[in-house]
Amino acid sequence: MTIGIIGAGKAGTTLGAYLCRNKIAVSGYYSRTYEHAVSAADFTETKAYYDIQSIVDASDTLFIATPDGEIAHVWDCIANYKLAGKVICHFSGSLSSYVFSGIEATGASGCSIHPMFAFSDKFKSYETFSTAYITMEGNEEAVQKMRQLFEGLGHKVCLVKAEDKMKYHAAAALASNYMIGLFQTSLNLLSECGFSEEDGRRLLEPLVRNNVNAMLECPTAEVLTGPVERNDTGTVQKHLNVLQGTNAEEIYRCIGKELLMIAKQKNPNQNYAMLNHLF
């Protein structure tokens, strides 16, 4: 297997460095900006290609590691080359392998691969990439080859249906980006109480760290505490009163409904009718 990587950003550079570190053959990089391909190729001690056809010809497997909006365009660029027997993969969390329109006619096989991983640093993320869970879907032959590759490197590989990719991606966004938004909402409320941002972070740190650690180790019903779980309608009503008319109120109500479902699971004998009415 010889892998060519199209896209030389954080994801592409990380993948190339990780594969090279594990003695997997990487032919090199192609990028719309040649200097980016050179940078990634120099870092991984591979080759930078001036044109896309050259990297297609030099590789039996192609990793498309571009932004989501570019994947279909890249596919359109390479679909007319000789692809018979090649594996074509992209690394979008939201797009499925359906983006490779008409791939069957080319003789290639395609799949989507998504590492559940934050590509935070172009030149350092490869050091911890071994911890990533990998999700795949697509043509059976392509999935089998890529699954063998990543499981051979020690990764847990999960399969997802093509039609579920967007829901899968939404779940990832809620657990990552939206948690940042929730944290910022808490900081904003503390700021309104007179706390500096630094003090707010320090105040929230033990709550955030302890809860995240507990959530990752135990079922959410075991972890849940607080006024919703205790069926403390008085406190919840007062929270809603002070948040009335703000974005924070909408967030509090939406997440409160989910917490209420968890609380009912934890305490099936509790009557949460009043809280349900409040939310």
Tens of pLDDT along 22-59?
999 999 999 999 999 999 999 999 999 999 999 999 99
| pLDDT of the residue at 127 | 95
Q: Domain 2-162: which CATH class?
A: alpha beta
The parts of the chain modelled with pLDDT lower than 50 are none
How crowded is residue 138: how many other Cβ atoms within 10 Å of its Cβ? Answer: 24
- 55 alpha-carbon distance from chain centroid: 27
| pLDDT of the residue at 120 | 86
| pLDDT of the residue at 176 | 87
Pairing mode of beta strands 133-138, 109-116: antiparallel
CB within 8 Å of 89: residues ≥ 6 apart = 61, 62, 63, 64, 110, 111, 112, 113, 138, 142, 146
| Domain range summary for the chain, segments of one domain joined by + | 2-162, 175-278
Q: Which CATH number fits domain 175-278: 1.10.3470, 1.10.287, 1.10.30, 1.10.1040?
A: 1.10.1040
| pLDDT of the residue at 138 | 96
| pLDDT of the residue at 98 | 95
| pLDDT of the residue at 118 | 85
